[in-house]
Every structure is written in C-alpha cells, then in structure tokens.
Amino acid sequence: MSANCSGQLIVMARWPAPGRCKRRLAQSLGAVAAARIQARLTAHTLAAARGATQGQGLELVLAVEGLGSLAARRWGQALGADRSVLQGRGALGLRMQRQFQRAAREGASQVVLIGSDLPQLEGDDLTAAFTALGRREGVLGPALDGGYWLIGLRRPDPELLAGIAWGGAQVLEQTLAAMARRELEPELLTTRGDLDWANDLVPWR
C-alpha cells in the first residue's frame, strides 16, 4: 500500500468464467450470457471506483476469486485497479473479514468493501461512504433483498461478520445487530439493488 493512502476501497470480484459466476442468473440466461454480464458489471464497478479514488489518497484494490496471483494481477491492471489480491478460501464472511484485516495491517484507517453486482453504482456512492467514515465507525449500503451492497469500517472486528446467514434476507438486520452489540452505529447509504436474476436486468437495459 502506498504511504500516501489513508484508506482502501476493496472490490470483491469473481473471474467471469461461464459456469463459475452468476449461477442464479445463468439458470434463465445461460452460463455464457451470465458470464458476459458479470464481466460488464465488474468493469462498471471498477470505473465508478476509479472515479471515486483518484486524487483522494485512497487505494483501489481488486480482491479476486477464481484466478491465481499472476492472472489476478493482470486482470486488475486491465481494469485499472491499483493492486490485486486474492480473496482466499472460505465462506463469504471469512473472505470479507480477511480483506479488512489485511487492509488494517497495511495501515489503512478507512476501509470500504463492495461487490461487483451493482448496475446502478455511482462514484458518488463510494465518496459518500468514505465521508461517512469520517463521522462514524461504520457505514452500510442497504440492498433491496435484505442484504447490503457496501460495508465500511475504521477497524476490523474478528467476530463482526461471524454467524451471518449469507445469501438470506436477514443479512443487513443481522449485521446491524452485530454492530449494535459492539456499540457501533453505522451510517446508512442509499438503498440499491444488485443483479442476481433475469428480472433484475430490466432497469439496466
């Protein structure tokens, strides 16, 4: 991490290989079409992220699943990330926590983590998240499906993301409860919808 960077914006992304990404979307559109959509979504996310981080003392990190280190580095360079790292093994919560802990070890004072399934994401959303971390210990972007599309923290907590029923409709509620137990009151951003099913494509066409 650059000594000039006070924070990290981490994009969690899976290599868009047919049959290995967007499985729910592939059920209705086919594996190849789903992979193409995933590639487009990831490029869109990185474009918004670049706009939000450039000149702001923030490092843009692509956390990759589905590739080795060298291929991940090449993919990140092609997408304009400052750096690429691997997500590692384990459930989603463990992989997310691993990124928070890595960023903290590297000296980041603000860490925002997002996925790559957000067709309506804008750079201003990400700027707002870092602004919120200037006031609060945490920030969340609620999702229409009961989860969240963004989480930001000033410091990692090994237990915060443990015990969350990932993929269910209670993810946001459970995360808010976990934060409340730690006396963290996060700021909530605009509610967004991610893209998992064919019907989710309608506003994006």
Quick: pLDDT tens for 108-162.
Answer: 989 999 998 888 899 999 999 999 999 999 999 999 889 999 999 998 787 888 8
Q: What's the pLDDT tens digit per position in 3-46?
A: 445 899 999 998 987 656 555 665 566 677 778 888 999 999 99
The CATH number of the structural domain formed by 7-196 is 3.90.550.10
The pLDDT of residue 91 is 87
The pLDDT of residue 197 is 45
Q: Say how far apart CA 76 and CA 91 lie, in whole Å.
A: 23
List the one residue out of 126, 140, 133, 136 whose CA is nearest residue 171: 140
The pLDDT of residue 3 is 44
The pLDDT of residue 106 is 92
Q: pLDDT exceeding 90 applies to what percent of the chain?
A: 59
